[in-house]
Chains A and B, each alone.
Chain A
Amino acid sequence: MNSYGILARFDSPKSLMHAAEKVRDEGFEKFDCHSPFPIHGMDEAMGLKRSKLGYLIGFMGMSGALFGFGLQSWIHSIEYPMNISGKPFFAYPAYAIITFELMVLFSAIGAVFGMMFFNRIPRFHHPVFYSEKFSDVSSDAFYVSIEVDDPKYEESFVIDFLKDIGGTEIEVLKDEI
C-alpha cells in the first residue's frame, strides 16, 4: 500500500499558522493547510508565491478587447458595410462598448477556468478524506498535511517533526487505490 502523506491536527488558527511557518522553515515544499475558513497571512506563512492568475486574466482581457475591436471593424468596414445615420464605416467610437464587454467576458472566462486549472479542480476525491476525523475540518479542526512527493519526506522523521511542532492525532494517509 502506498501512502499519500501525513496528517496532523492543530487546535486553533494561530497554532496552524505557526505550524505552517515551521513546516516552511524546515524546507518542506509539498504540504498543505486545511481550515474551516480563510486565514489572513496564511499565504506568507506557507511561503506561497503570488498567484499567476492575474497575468492570465490580463492576457485574456487584452485578447478579448482586440478580438472585439477587430470583429466589429471587420464586419462594419469590410464584410458588411452599412450606412448608419451617415457616420463613417469605420466608426471606432461605437466599438468601445462591445470591445469593453468582450474584454470583461474573456477576463471572466480566464479567471474562472484559470482558477480551476491552477487549483486542479474539478476533482471529486482526495486522499485526505480517507481520514475518519478529517471531516471536522469543516467545523472546528485545523490540519497540516505533508505529502510523500516532498523531497525531504521520510516517514518517521516527519511524524516526529509534526509532534514537535504541536500536532496531535497524527496519521499516515493511504493513497488512492
Chain B
Amino acid sequence: MNLNPNTYTYISKSSYNLILIIIGYVGLVLTWFFGISDKVFYFSYLTSYFYWLSIILGGMFFIMVHYAFSSTWSVSIRRLMENTIMLIPLFTLPFLPVLYGMEKLFKWLPNHYYWKTHDFEADHLIQHKLAYLNEDSFIFRALLYFVLWNIISIYIYYNSIKHDRTGEIKILENLRYFCMSPMGVFFFISLTGAGLDWHMSLDPHWYSTMFGVYTFAGAFLAFLAFLTFTIIRMQDQGYLKGIVSTEHFHDLGKYLFAFTVFYCYIAGAQFYFIWYSNIPEETIWYLHRWIGSWKIISVLLIVGKFFIPFFILIFRGSKRNIRLLQVMTIWILFMHYIDINFIIMPTVHKTNFHFGLYDLFTMISFALIFVGGFKFITTRSNLVPLNDTELVHSINHRNH
C-alpha cells in the first residue's frame, strides 16, 4: 500500500507555535499577577487548569489501553494520542499557582481564611481527616502524580518514535509490557487521587467513593471528543486522507456514546446513594448545587451531558456523519467545562453561577499552550506510525 506523504506529514511553523505557547504562559502569569490575593482567581485557575489537564489524562488512559490490548483499529490514530499525552511536561509547571494558593482553596488547612473566625479544633470531621489531608502529604502526592504522568508520557512517546525510526518489534512488545504492568494500576490510583485531592477535598466534609471514577469518566469523554474533533479538523486540511476512514469515526462515535452513558451511570449512582441515605454532610454538596442559578447548571448538565448526546449518538447514521459528529464533539467539550465548573466553583460562588474575567483569561491562556504545544509536537513526527505492522489492518478496518 502506498500512502501519499502529504497526508501524514503535518506542516506548521514551529516558531509560530512556540510564540503561542509563550503568549499562553505570559497570559497565565499576568492573570495570576492581577489575582494573586483574590481567592476567586485560584478557583478559576484550578477549573481551567484541570479542564485541559483532564484531556491529557484521558489520552493517557486510551493509549495505555491501546498498547495493553495490542489494539489494531486504533493504530492509525495512535500518534495523535501520543502527541496529546506529550503535553504533560508543559502542564507540570502551571500546577505551581495551585500550590501557592492552597490556603485560599482548601478548607482543611488550618490557615484557611475560614478558620480566622471559626474554631479549627472544634471541627471534628476535619480533625479525623488530617492524616490524609495535610499540606505535606498533599504536596508529596501531587509531586508523585506528576512524576508518574511524566514518566508514562515520555516513555511511551519516545519509544514509539524510536519504533518509527528502527521498526524493531521488540519496542512494541516493551510498550505492551509497560502498559500492562502495574503502571496501569498506578495510573488509575493517581487519577483517583488527583480527583480526590483537587476536587473532592474542596469541601472536606463531603465524600463520595464514586469520585475517582467520576474524574476518569469526565476526562476520558473529553479526550475522545478532543481526538475526534482534531481528526476531523486535520482531514479538512487534507491530512490523514485515506488513513482514517468513516469506520474509525464510527468507532470513535461508539466510544463517545458509550462514555456518555457511563458518565451518566456513575454520576447518577453517586447522586442516588447520597439522595437515599440522606446524611447531612453528604447532601449539602448537592444542595449547594441546587440553589440560585446553579440549579440551571445542574439541569443543563443532566440534559446536555446525557440526554442530548444520548439521543443523537444512539443512531448509526449520526456516528457516521462527520459534520454531526464534529458538532457533537464541540458540544461535549463545552459540557465538560460546565461539569468541571459545576464541581469546583460552587465552593466560592455560593449563590450563583459566574463566568468572570479570571475564567476567561485562564481558559484562553491554557488553550493557547495546549493548541500551540499540540501543533508543535505534531510537527516533530509522522502523523501515523509507518513502521507498525498493524497499520495496514487499521487502514482497512471495517465495522461489520
Interface residues of chain A, those whose CB is within 8 Å of chain B, are 40-41, 43, 50, 58, 85, 87, 93-94, 96-97
Contact = CB atoms under 8 A, between A and B. Distances in A.
Contacts of A97: 272
Size bracket of the B interface: 10 to 19
Nearest to A40: B400
A41 B398 contact: yes
A121 B272 CA distance: 41
B400 A96 contact: no
B400 A93 contact: no
B275 A58 contact: no
B271 A41 contact: no
A58 B314 contact: yes
Contacts of A93: 271-272, 275
A31 to B, nearest CB: 20
Contact of A41 (B268, B276, B316, B400): B400
A50 B320 CA distance: 15
17 contacts: A40-B400, A41-B398, A41-B400, A43-B400, A50-B316, A58-B314, A85-B278, A87-B278, A93-B271, A93-B272, A93-B275, A94-B272, A94-B275, A94-B276, A96-B268, A96-B272, A97-B272
Interface string B136-173: 00000000000000000000000000000000000000
A67 to B, nearest CB: 19
Contacts of B278: 85, 87
Contacts of B398: 41
Interface of B: 268, 271-272, 275-276, 278, 314, 316, 398, 400
Nearest to B275: A93
A3 B272 CA distance: 62
A105 B400 CA distance: 27
Contacts of A87: 278
Nearest to A39: B400
Contacts of A50: 316
A160 to B, nearest CB: 32
Q: Which 10 A-B pairs have the closest CB atoms?
A: A40-B400, A93-B275, A41-B400, A85-B278, A96-B272, A96-B268, A93-B272, A97-B272, A93-B271, A94-B276
Contacts of B272: 93-94, 96-97
Nearest to A54: B316
A106 B87 CA distance: 46
A58 B272 CA distance: 25
Contacts of B271: 93
A43 B398 CA distance: 13
Contacts of B314: 58
B7 to A, nearest CB: 27
A85 B280 CA distance: 13
Nearest to A50: B316
A94 B316 CA distance: 32
A127 to B, nearest CB: 29
A120 to B, nearest CB: 23
B299 to A, nearest CB: 13
A41 B400 CA distance: 6
Given A58-B314, A93-B272, A97-B272, 14 more contacts: A40-B400, A41-B398, A41-B400, A43-B400, A50-B316, A85-B278, A87-B278, A93-B271, A93-B275, A94-B272, A94-B275, A94-B276, A96-B268, A96-B272
